[in-house]
């Protein structure tokens, strides 16, 4: 899935002297408060982190409240969806007007009817709502389906995504991956067939007819027997 990235960051964290008794725990608590929120400094939503404290002694800042600063080396996992990126999520609600999706368990997405390609037709089966492909009967989207979709926009404040299923390479992940495997196998089979034909052409002498080639094989066998 696109939109995920890992970044190395050099940070400086300022702590109140009252937190000096357990610096490590205070740092983890401060970083924890940034999780699952969009951060302009990181240009993304912080999903996870691994941090090392570089300073063994803190530098005390002058001022009314003498905070002390610590240099940190952090490894960050960020989520930063941009337009036209491919995301994956689970369908949690579906109606004729829209498909609602949860991405990575925390970010919501909606795909409205105008952003669903005409291949998909809304219908109900055994009281279950779903979108079924008119071209491929097994390509179905319903509640619980994991889908792949394109990003149209991302609201950084509420972490809400507007998505699209217009592109042909979007839809049910299970069907898309299986269809891709079938296409790859077909391509490999076609390539093998072409290779066999090419090798067969190379075996026969140029200008020889199939009949003369067969006679050549028979004559060779007779020579071996005679010898």
Domains in the chain (CATH in brackets) are 4-79 (3.30.1490), 86-205 (2.40.50.140)
pLDDT at 225: 44
- Which residue ranges in the chain fall short of pLDDT 70? 56-65, 181-227
- Residues 60 and 70: their CA atoms lie apart, in Å, by 9
pLDDT at 208: 44
Structure token digits, residue 7: 């970044």
Query: Which backbone phi and psi does 105 adopt, to 5 degrees?
Result: 80, 0
pLDDT at 128: 93
pLDDT at 122: 96
Model confidence pLDDT, tens digit, residues 151-202: 999 999 999 999 999 999 999 999 999 887 655 544 445 555 555 555 555 5
pLDDT at 43: 93
Structure token digits, residue 54: 């570089």
Residues whose CB is less than 8 angstroms from the CB of residue 96 and which lie 6 or more positions away in sequence, other chains included: 113, 122, 129
Give just the sign of the alpha carbon dihedral 71, 73, 77, 79. positive
The helix/strand/coil state of 36 is coil
pLDDT at 15: 85
- Residues 134 and 72: their CA atoms lie apart, in Å, by 55
* Secondary structure letter of residue 62 according to DSSP: P
The helix/strand/coil state of 98 is strand
pLDDT at 65: 66
Q: What global pTM score does this model have?
A: 0.73
């Amino acid at each position: 899935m696109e939109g995920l990235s890992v970044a190395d960051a050099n940070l400086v964290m300022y702590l109140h002297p009252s937190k000096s008794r357990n610096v490590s725990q205070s740092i983890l608590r401060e970083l924890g408060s940034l999780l699952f929120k969009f951060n302009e400094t990181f240009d993304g939503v912080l999903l996870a982190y691994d941090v090392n404290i570089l300073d063994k002694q803190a530098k005390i800042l002058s001022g009314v409240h003498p905070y002390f600063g610590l240099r940190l080396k952090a490894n960050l996992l960020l989520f930063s969806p941009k337009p036209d990126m491919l995301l994956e999520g689970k369908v949690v609600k579906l109606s004729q007007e829209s498909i609602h999706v949860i991405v990575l368990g925390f970010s919501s997405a909606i795909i409205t009817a105008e952003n669903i390609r005409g291949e998909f037709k809304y219908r109900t089966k055994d009281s279950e709502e779903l979108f079924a492909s008119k071209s491929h009967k097994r390509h179905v989207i319903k509640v619980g389906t994991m889908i792949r979709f394109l990003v149209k926009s991302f609201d950084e404040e509420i972490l809400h995504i507007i998505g699209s299923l217009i592109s042909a390479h979007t839809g049910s992940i299970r069907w898309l991956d299986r269809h891709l495997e079938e296409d790859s196998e077909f391509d490999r089979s076609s390539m093998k067939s072409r290779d066999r034909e090419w090798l067969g052409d190379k075996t026969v002498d140029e200008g020889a007819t199939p009949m003369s080639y067969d006679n050549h094989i028979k004559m060779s066998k007779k020579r071996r027997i005679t010898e």
